[in-house]
Structure 1
Amino acid sequence: MGITELTPDYRGLIGLEGKHVLVLGGGLGIGRQTCLAAASVGAKVSVVDMDQDRAKAVAEEVDGLALTGDATDRAAVERFVGEAVRHFGPIHGLADIIGMSDNGPLSEVTDELWYRGLDLNLRHAFLALQIGAKAMTEGGSMVFVGSISGLRSAPGHAVYGAAKAGLANLVSTASLELGPGIRVNVVAPGQTATPRVAERHPEPDYYDKAAAQVPLGRVGRTSDIASAVLFFLTDLSAWITGQTLVVDGGAGRRFAYTKL
C-alpha cells in the first residue's frame, strides 16, 4: 500500500481551538502554566485541584471550569470527569500534573510513606487512564508529568523515583491498549522552579547551585514544562505515543568524571 505525503497546516496543528482539555493538579505551578498554555491556543479548560480556591483562581484566568477533588479517589475522579464532560463536552486532552515527593533514605522509609508516595505519584495516573480515557474523543491525547527521578537514581529518591519509573511503564502499556484512538505520553522534568520546590529550598543560592549542573545554564521554569505538555496535547505530536520526553536543560547527559 502506498503512502501519500501530506504537507500539514501547522497553524491548525498548533491550535486546540474549541477543544476540551482537562488538567489534573491545575491550580499551581506547572499545572497552572499548562492551563494558561492550553487556553492561549483556544482550548476550553477544566481545572482540577484539591484546593478549591486555587482551582477557582486559575479557572477565572482561563475562563474555564473549576473542579475540586482528590484524584487518588475513584469516586472523586468519576465525579469531576463527569462534571467536566457535562460542561464542555467530551475531553480531547487530559494533562495530569500531580506529584509530590517525600525524600529520605530508603532505610528510613515507613510503610505509610511508601504507600503515600505511590498514591501521590502513581494511583491518580492509573485512575485517570481508566476513567479519563472513556470520556475522550477519538484522536485524543493524555499527558502525564513524571520526573527525571524515574529515569535516573539519586540518594533519598527511593519512593518518588520508583513511583515515577512505574508511571513511565504504566503509560507505555496504556499506549498499546488505547491506540490508535488515544495517544499517551510522559514529560519528565529535571530541576524546575516550582512553588513547592521554593518552599522546600528557601536558601537564596539554591537555584544558582542547581543551575551550575545544567548545560543550558539555568533551572527549568514551569512554562518550560507546560510547553512540552502542550506539544503532546496538540497534533504536532500526532505520531508519538508511549514515550517519555526528558525536559531538563541537558542535565541528565552528564556522568561522574574525575580528571586524571
Structure 2
Amino acid sequence: MKKNILLIGGSYGIGQGIAQLLSKENHVIVASRTADGVPPNCHHLPFDATQDDVSDLDLPESIDGLVYCPGSINLKPFRALKPDAFRRDMEINLIGLVSVVQGILPRIKKAERSSLVFFSTVAVDLGMPFHTSVAAAKGAVEGFARALAAELAPSVRVNVIAPSLTDTPLAGKLLATDEKKEKMAQRNPLKQVGQIEDLASMAQFLIEDTGKWISGQVFHVDGGMSSLKVD
C-alpha cells in the first residue's frame, strides 16, 4: 500500500531529489511556492511555508511521512548581521517548520506509523565563521526534533539530516565556478562537495520502513566534515 508523503518544498534542489526518489513507491504531495521542477508523478499544492497555513491545503486524511526542506544560507560576519537577519533565518528554518508540524499533526497521528525528516547543517556542531545566524536557526531545529521525537514516540519517528556544503541552487554563489567547487571540495575530508542524491537517499531511508527503528537522531551526511580531521 502506498504511503502518503508530504514534502514542504520539492520543486528544486534537495527537495526535488527527494520527491523523485519517494514518488517511485509512494503518493507524494509537494507543497511549494512553484510547480516548476516538481516531478510529474507528484501532486503539487501552492504553498509558502513562511506565510501560508498548511491546514488550508487539501491533504489526505492520514500522512505517513513529512519532509521539511525550506532553508537558508546566510553567511556573513556577525558584525554585519542585524537581529532581523536572525529572525528571518529562524522564521524559515524553525517557525515555518513548527507551523507545518502543528497544522498536520492530527493527520500524522492517524497514520499507523509515520516519519518526519528535517534538515540542519554541519555548522551546528562544527563552529564555522560567518555561520552564526544559520547555525542558531538549525540548532533550534535539532533541539526541537529531539524533544518532538520523545513526545510523539512510539508511533511517530523524528530525525534530522545535517549536511555540509551540497551542490544545490541554494549554494549557487558558493559553487558558481569549477574553481570554487574544487576549492570547497578540498576542504572536505572526502575531497568532495555533497550531491543532491547523497541527501535524498538518506531522507528516503528515514521516511520508508528501512529506518523503522531510528528516531531522535541527527545524521551527519557531510563527507566526514563534522568528525574527521585529515591532512
Same fold by TM-score, threshold 0.5 exceeded? Answer: yes
Aligned counterparts of 2:143 and 2:4: Cα–Cα separation in 1: 26
Aligned counterparts of 1:92 and 1:192: Cα–Cα separation in 2: 27
Aligned counterparts of 1:212 and 1:142: Cα–Cα separation in 2: 33
Q: Deviations over 1:64-95 (max 9, x none)?
A: 2111112123x522112xx122xxx4111101
Offset of residue 117 of structure 1: 0.9
Is contact 1:21–1:93 with CA below 8 Å preserved after alignment? yes
Q: Deviations over 1:101-150 (max 9, x none)?
A: 22211122112211111112111221122122221112100000111122
> Could you say what secondary structure the match of 1:70 adopts?
coil
Whose helix proportion is higher, 1 or 2?
Answer: 1
Offset of residue 213 of structure 1: 2.3
Give the CA RMSD over aligned residues.
1.7
Against the structure 1 CA distance between its residues 199 and 107, is the aligned structure 2 distance closer, same or farther, given a 3 Å change threshold?
Answer: closer
Match of 1:76 in 2: 53
2:214 to 240, 249, 253: 240
Aligned counterparts of 1:161 and 1:77: Cα–Cα separation in 2: 26
Match of 1:50 in 2: 33
Q: Deviations over 1:172-192 (max 9, x none)?
A: 000011111110000111111
Match of 1:14 in 2: none
Q: Percent identity?
A: 28
Match of 2:123 in 1: 149
Is contact 1:65–1:84 with CA below 8 Å preserved after alignment? no
Instruction: Report which of the two structures shows the higher radius of gyration computed on alpha carbons.
Output: 1
Match of 2:22 in 1: 38
Name stretches of at least 5 consecutive residues in structure 2 with no aligned partner: none
> Could you say what secondary structure the match of 2:150 adopts?
helix
TM-score by length of 2: 0.93
How many pairs align? 229
Match of 2:74 in 1: 102
State the one-letter code of the partner of 2:196: T
TM-score by length of 1: 0.83
Aligned counterparts of 2:154 and 2:73: Cα–Cα separation in 1: 33
